[in-house]
Amino acid sequence: MPAVASHPPDHLVRPLVRALDAYVPGEQPQRGRLIKLNTNENPYPPSLKVIAATRDAVDGRLRLYPDPSAARLRMRLAKHHGCDPANIIVGNGSDELLAVAVRAFAEPASSVSASRQSAATVQYLTPSYSLYPTLAESHGARRNEVPLEADFTLPLPAALRRGRKWDFGAALTFVTTPNAPSGRGYSQEELEYLCSAMEGVVVLDEAYVDFASGNALALALSQPHVLVARTFSKGYSLCFQRVGYVVGHRELIAALAKLRDSYSVNGLGQVAALATLDDLPYYRANVKRIIKTRTRLTGELGALGFEVLPSETNFLLVRPPAPEAATWFTELRARKILVRYFEGSSLSDRLRITVGTDEEVDTLLRAVRAILRSGPSRSR
Ligand SMILES: *Cc1c(COP(=O)(O)O)cnc(C)c1O
């Protein structure tokens, strides 16, 4: 019998994959009573109608494949957004569609000549969604990172004219709007200006748009190279079900559809998303509550010495007073409150805090006051 090697030889895994930095999602503890303010989930549950509709769909149908193109859901979404179902593709979370967009629009760098590297370029702002670099790398595409201004505003319009860092020919540009993790919103004029400057596809990632004052859907429906990505995860309390979608020109949508896994959107997710669209006033009320809590949390943290960026999302990016952000993270975790800390990045002096329920926010504020009282140089 041959000896069993303790691990497979390196050459079994492609060098690109061996070198790949995997995306690091926020912690999802499966037990313990933690107040989860680390992954921007909606603190309010799905509506009772959504839960009932989902439960009602759990029967012998589980044997069948779901509708591969989510036709009913696309029809409802088209009606909702005033477009045609052919302008919409539904995915297993918008994350799936972001990955498919990279494969559909960007060449692997190795397959184009040095003079055509823009065709292999995935471009995005930093800091923004940290999934984009992983998607680009995993496809072998070139990355072009465009730094936001120091106050996290878009480098526009003068910087755009100067061409600073932008690759106008980039095959694909991702813009998180409103941005994560800064929480900043961008104006329609800025976005329109930016999109007009780009020759490749622009994906406006509107994961947090339900908490913002405006949206860029009209851009996606008027400019043939602009797509908008939306999700049921954040504004509609449906992370667990993984439903997202992209809106845009039918030809770009058709390109994405060719590459998406045929049955990627599970049947219960489709049912839940449809029921969500039947109960929108419930969700609008939750968004209103979250925005009210966001305003209160912004004010209270500000009064306690935190620097808080204005937010158009369901989270706040804050720079805490002493001690260090890392210590705040640990101290809050010891008090069973989970926030997001970006270790070893340009944001390592900050914390991202999801806006929870009013009770959760009260508990957070009590913990913050206790940590401030106990002094900066304490070890526990
Ligand atoms: C949460 C999030 C997504 C993905 O949402 P899905 O759960 O995959 O639909 C996409 N972009 C940003 C910026 C996000 O924060």
Distance from Cα 207 to the centre of ligand 1, integer Å: 5
| pLDDT recorded at residue 127 | 95
Residue 160 has pLDDT above 70, yes or no: no
| pLDDT recorded at residue 377 | 47
Q: Tell the residue number behind the tokens 């095959």, with chain if given.
A: 171
Locate 264 and state its tokens: 């990627």
| pLDDT recorded at residue 155 | 85
Q: What is the torsional sign of CA 336, 21, 237, 215?
A: positive
Render pLDDT for 297-350 as a digit per residue (tens, 0 to 9): 999 999 999 999 999 999 999 999 999 999 999 999 999 999 999 988 889 999
Does the beta carbon of 244 sit less than 6 angstroms from any atom of ligand 1? Answer: yes
Mean pLDDT of the chain: 94
Does the beta carbon of 124 sit less than 6 angstroms from any atom of ligand 1? Answer: no
State mean pLDDT over 44-64.
97
Half-sphere exposure of 144 (CA within 13 A, CB side): 22
- Among 38, 94, 266, name the best residue to mutate to test ligand 1's pocket (greatest count of ligand atoms within 8 A of Cβ): 94
Per the CB < 8 A criterion, the answer to whether 120 and 108 are in contact is yes
Per the CB < 8 A criterion, the answer to whether 183 and 313 are in contact is yes
Does the beta carbon of 129 sit less than 6 angstroms from any atom of ligand 1? Answer: yes
Q: Which of 142-151, 251-260, 280-289, 371-380 has the lowest mean pLDDT?
A: 371-380
| pLDDT recorded at residue 379 | 47
Does the beta carbon of 93 sit less than 6 angstroms from any atom of ligand 1? Answer: yes
d(CA 61, CA 219): 39
Q: Express as a percent the part of the chain with pLDDT over 70.
A: 95
Does the beta carbon of 128 sit less than 6 angstroms from any atom of ligand 1? Answer: no
| pLDDT recorded at residue 204 | 98
Distance from Cα 259 to the centre of ligand 1, integer Å: 19
pLDDT band at 266 (very low <50, low <70, confident <90, very high): very high
Among residues 164, 130, 133, 161, the alpha carbon closest in space to that of 352 is found at 130
d(CA 95, CA 244): 8
pLDDT band at 163 (very low <50, low <70, confident <90, very high): low
Helices (H), the chain: 15-19, 48-56, 71-81, 93-105, 131-139, 158-161, 188-197, 217-222, 250-259, 267-277, 280-303, 325-334, 358-373
Distance from Cα 210 to the centre of ligand 1, integer Å: 13
Distance from Cα 232 to the centre of ligand 1, integer Å: 9
DSSP letter at 258 equals H
Residue 380 has pLDDT above 60, yes or no: no
d(CA 204, CA 195): 9
Render pLDDT for 69-78 as a digit per residue (tens, 0 to 9): 999 999 999 9
CA angle 341, 369, 323 (to 5 degrees): 45
Residue 157 has pLDDT above 80, yes or no: no
